[in-house]
Amino acid sequence: MPKGKKPKYFPNNWKAYKESPDEFFIPIAYQDFFNWKVMGWVLPSSIACVIREEKDGKISEKVYSQSHAANNYLTKEMSDKKNTTVYTIADDKQVQVLYPKGGSKTYKQLPMDEDIWPGLEDLTDEELDDLFGHH
């Protein structure tokens, strides 16, 4: 983006949601919501992948229509040993997280079988609300 130019604003409807009464929303169990919105992602056919970058507390996203362009970008960025960015890559088959590991700053993939929150599926909706501060 050219220097001094503001990014395009995409309007949203947050005020309409904020002002809506509780009855407007259908109650849903956390696990059902998680499976629906987190595990049920769908990318349009025109998008090969989305790359989310986290660096210094800031998050940005890049959308790629061609896999090889995304691969070239990641290869170039991760070859810089000073790079401390964490990359989350979502395509139509999986979501993977790549993070710098060790003194050589090589990148490792977060293991797919690693359960980040063991026991989460065993919690009740009330316990999940307590855990996430929703009362």
Please provide the average confidence, as pLDDT, over all residues in the chain. 80
112 Cβ partners below 8 Å, 6+ apart?
94, 96
Which pLDDT score is estimated for 102?
Answer: 62
State the pLDDT at residue 135.
45
Mean pLDDT of 80-96: 88
Residue 116 falls in which region: left (phi positive, over 0), alpha (psi -120 to 50) or beta: alpha
Q: What percentage of the chain carries pLDDT values higher than 90?
A: 29
What is the reported pLDDT for 13? 82
Give the pTM: 0.56
Percent of residues, the chain, with pLDDT higher than 70: 76
